[in-house]
Amino acid sequence: MANVKKWVYSFNSNKTEGNQGMKDLLGGKGANLAEMSSLGLSVPPGFTVTTQACLDFVSNANSLNDEIKKQVLDALSLVEKESGKKFGDSNNPLLFSVRSGARVSMPGMMDTVLNLGLNDESVLGLGKLTGNPRFAWDSYRRFIQMYANVVMGFNVALLESTLEDLKEAREVEEDTQLTAQDLQDLVSVYKTIILEETGIGFPTDPMDQLWRAIAAVFSSWNNPRAIKYREINEISHEWGTAVNVQSMVFGNMGEDCATGVCFTRDPSTGEKKFFGEFLINAQGEDVVAGIRTPQPINDLSKNESNKTLTTLEQAMPKVFGELVEVYTRLEEHYKDMQDIEFTIEKDKLFILQTRNGKRTAAAGIKIAVDLVEEGILTKKEALLKMNPEDLNQLLHPRLDPCVAKNIIATGLPASPGAGSGQIAFSSEKAHTMNENGEKVLLVRQETSPEDIAGMVASQGILTARGGMTSHAAVVARGMGKPCVAGCSQLAISYANSTLTVNGKVYREGDWITIDGATGEVIEGKVPTISATISEDFSTFMKWADEVRKLDIRTNADNPQDSKTAISFGAQGIGLCRTEHMFFEPERILAVREMIYADNVASRKKALDKLLPFQREDFIGIFNEMNGLPVNIRLLDPPLHEFLPHTAQDKLQLADYLGIDVDLVEDRCEKLHEFNPMLGHRGCRLGVTFPEIYRMQTRAIIEAALECSKNGIKVLPEIMIPLISLSGELVILKDECLDEIKKVFEEKQSEIKYKLGTMIELPRAAITAGEIAPHADFFSFGTNDLTQTTYGLSRDDAGKFLPEYVGKGLMPLDPFVSIDRDGVGFLVKHACIEGKKTNPNIHLGICGEHGGEPRSIQFCHDIGLDYVSCSPFRVPIARLAAAQAALK
Ligand code: PEP
Ligand code: MG
């Protein structure tokens, strides 16, 4: 028989076909269920329909092929055997949960159906079997609501309002106060509404329910929320999701039942404390929905809002003990902090899910360092676990403790960092305000996946409901944004767009501040100060430094940025862009005078005015970078960037130069370029106006000599930008060397320096072998190299590149992550050819790619000596370089 493709993998106590390593095929959840099941934990039996089946389904116009259906039926009968129940049986019914599970977790993005298999007959069986008809009808009612929403695409607001009406009529507050008869009546009303609204009856055949649920989960891979989430998180649209079909266990069968979520360590701080929330007599969504305040599982999980509630440890000590055993085992097995979902059915503990818990970056570092110290992880494993981009979070601001603050309320400290913004009550509004350049703080009762765009647009998120595991808390933590959740003192009215706290009303547009580390909500705008780095962070980064091969430099053009970069571990400056220094008010007139000069003598006169400024700039930087190399690029941008634009600027310049304003206009016209990025810029300025490069070289060397005289160790590197011909470098090098010689003679003193060039045009990369003998170093300017390799303007590409990425023409924006095949090919070629003619040539990168982990991997692979990136990305680059070396 020909090999039949396997579409379905079972997990039960007799047969588990998958394992942890099969995430691509089984999705994260499916692989975990298989792994847990094979560990012998009490996992309700079930099966996983693979991500491949999802792709097959999508490519078959959203239909399941016969072989998939056959394998589902086979797997289903195994579950029936193990559970002793029968799917669709009216006496002893087997019920299923149907959940999506992609390769990486996508919180809230995909949909879940519980209690699948219930119909008018089996509901009676379930009632009899459990001796709890109320529970059976409640399960049925929940099932219809979820199924109608997720599978039938029905707007459940209608069903919800019916439930609210019924509670009002019965004069009760909680769902749990409704009787079995109430719920039975509700079910029949639900079914009537669905029939009336859709023209289709609610499916009563369990098998039919199952096929349609599987199809709905597969289809939901392409729902707009899921697509949006993937775009934000750079997740491929080609992965597909798996479906997990698992027998139901019930946390809502009575007071000996419960459901909960726990973390093996604190997801906010990383502290080693078992931490979680649960609800007695409830189903999973009740914990995260924020409708009832969850109870703490133990004393360590107590906070302001739940401190008076009974813990799981008190309520069910035996089960709590089992949970502790399970979590210790899971943490050792997965070598990471776990986020575990559990259900207790009649005092029996079931583990529904475990995964590596989402955490703040600070917690990530602490956990990694602790796990190494506990002997659970090696340093190498610890380094590889951390996503370099997550370090961004550590560099976040916090509130200035010296500034008085008017705290108006306190909620849960759901995600650290602090942020101020103008109140927006909807995701749409937040998005629009952000587009208009305003800083926004999103204020919601609670958030849902629909709010993702608004959360992205906001400085922080404040919610009135929900616990530490609510949607707002989990998602904000992942995004590294401050979040205060479950702040029950807030009265939010969406209808009036008001937030009322202690009688005071705040409106849309009013400023508030939140501190996600303390849970404080503060009136107005509070200044923030930058993050300080923990001892664990230093330990962790030291491990990274021990293994990385690449040096990490920074792009900085002033002493302050240089200082920041050093505090983050920079080992030198890889790019000092001198043009930024020219824009200060007292200098720009001299710069314009230089541009307007129509002969060498008057140009020199203007340059003489700039020389002392430049010298001071370099002295400041050399002092900060004592002992570290400083690579200074000679003037690069097109001259038009310095031209006066406004009428007032033109008048001021005319006045300064003592010429008529018409003449100023006239020169502006003449200097106008059609494609300034490809025009008179870079070394072309040096070739036509060598005095400019001479002045800058002089300023660098004079500054270096002066610092050196004062005991500072100076390692200057002079860099010529944008060459395309070796001849350009040759003549400019001669100019620079001549100027350096003059300075040495004048000062009767010398200093070591390097002189090299940027490789940022394809011709330079291709002919690198000719260029290298004249250069001490190459620094790859991959911003311009990407622009010119693609013929794609870096200033205009943003308008259409996202569409290219969306259509799969490019995996990622090539200005963010290096295009290995094109731009990368040129870089690699230049390194190889450059080394052939100058084996000592020093190689680095200073384009934005120098701070991007995937590009850093590439730089490591081709053997560059260093990468250079903005100061705040230095720690990210250090870790990425370590990971590159370890991979
Ligand atoms: C580059 O082109 O990559 C570069 C670093 O220079 P700039 O961005 O200043 O053009
Ligand atoms: Mg450039």
Ligand 1 in reach of 93 Cβ (< 6 A): no
For 8-247, CATH gives: 3.30.1490.20
The two tokens of residue 777 are 């170093």
Ligand 1 in reach of 784 Cβ (< 6 A): yes
d(CA 407, CA 439): 20
CATH topology of domain 258-359: D-amino Acid Aminotransferase; Chain A, domain 1 (3.30.470)
Phi-psi region of 135 (alpha: psi -120 to 50; beta: other; left: phi over 0): alpha
Ligand 1 in reach of 846 Cβ (< 6 A): yes
Least confident of 38-42, 46-50, 295-299, 742-746: 38-42
- What is the number of other CB atoms lying within 10 angstroms of the CB of residue 89? 15
Contacts of residues 582-591 at CB distance under 8 Å and 24 or more positions apart, as own/partner, are 582/610, 582/642, 584/613, 586/613, 587/613, 588/642, 589/652, 589/653, 589/656, 591/642
Q: How confident is the model at residue 840 (pLDDT cuts 50, 70, 90)?
A: very high
Q: How confident is the model at residue 288 (pLDDT cuts 50, 70, 90)?
A: low
Contact between 40 and 120 under an 8 Å Cβ cutoff? The reply is no
Model pLDDT, residue 31:
93
d(CA 360, CA 481): 10
| Statement: residue 723 has pLDDT above 50 | yes
CB-facing half-sphere around the CA of 629: CA atoms within 13 A: 21
- What is the number of other CB atoms lying within 10 angstroms of the CB of residue 170? 12
Give the nearest ligand 1 atom to 781 CA: 3
What element of type H or E holds 566? helix 559-567
Domain ranges of the chain: 8-247, 258-359, 397-529, 548-638+673-886
CB-facing half-sphere around the CA of 650: CA atoms within 13 A: 13
Q: How confident is the model at residue 1 (pLDDT cuts 50, 70, 90)?
A: very low
* Least distant ligand from the CA of 631: 1
Contact between 379 and 372 under an 8 Å Cβ cutoff? The reply is yes
The two tokens of residue 238 are 């080609």
Helices and strands, counts by H and E, the chain: 33, 33
Strand spans (E) along 56-137:
86-87, 93-94, 96-102, 112-116
Contact between 834 and 778 under an 8 Å Cβ cutoff? The reply is yes
Model pLDDT, residue 674:
87
Least confident of 186-200, 436-450, 476-490: 476-490
Give the nearest ligand 1 atom to 783 CA: 3
Q: How far is the CA of 110 from the centre of ligand 1 (A)?
A: 41
Q: How confident is the model at residue 468 (pLDDT cuts 50, 70, 90)?
A: low
Q: How confident is the model at residue 704 (pLDDT cuts 50, 70, 90)?
A: very high
What residues contact 710, with CB distance under 8 A and at least 6 apart?
A: none
pLDDT in tens, 520-531: 999 999 998 767
Q: Which residues sit opposite 348 in a β-bridge?
A: 345
The separation between CA 601 and the C-alpha centre of its own chain, rounded to angstroms, equals: 54
pLDDT in tens, 610-665: 999 999 999 999 999 999 999 999 999 888 778 887 888 899 999 999 999 999 99
DSSP 391-431: GGGGG--EE-TTS---EEEE-EEEE-SEEEEEEESSHHHHH
The two tokens of residue 664 are 């100023």
More confident residue, 382 or 254: 382
Q: Which residues sit opposite 866 in a β-bridge?
A: 551, 844
| Helix pair angle (157-169, 180-198), 10° resolution | 150
Q: Which residues are catalytically annotated? A: 471, 846
pLDDT in tens, 313-358: 999 999 999 999 999 999 999 999 999 999 998 898 999 888 889 8
For 397-529, CATH gives: 3.50.30.10
- Opening angle at CA 227, ends 221 and 230, nearest 5: 100
CATH architecture of structural domain 548-638+673-886: Alpha-Beta Barrel (3.20)
Ligand 1 in reach of 782 Cβ (< 6 A): yes
pLDDT in tens, 367-416: 999 999 999 999 999 999 999 988 877 877 778 878 899 999 998 877 77
Please determine whether the domains at 8-247 and 258-359 fall in the same fold group of CATH.
no
pLDDT in tens, 545-595: 999 999 999 999 889 889 989 999 999 999 999 887 787 777 889 999 998
* Probe residue for ligand 1, chosen from 557, 575, 683, 868 as the CB with the greatest number of ligand atoms within 8 Å: 575
Contacts of residues 161-169 at CB distance under 8 Å and 24 or more positions apart, as own/partner, are 162/186, 162/189, 162/190, 162/193
d(CA 672, CA 646): 15
Which residue, 256, 278, 284, is CA-closest to 346? 256
β pairing state of 241-247 and 96-102: antiparallel
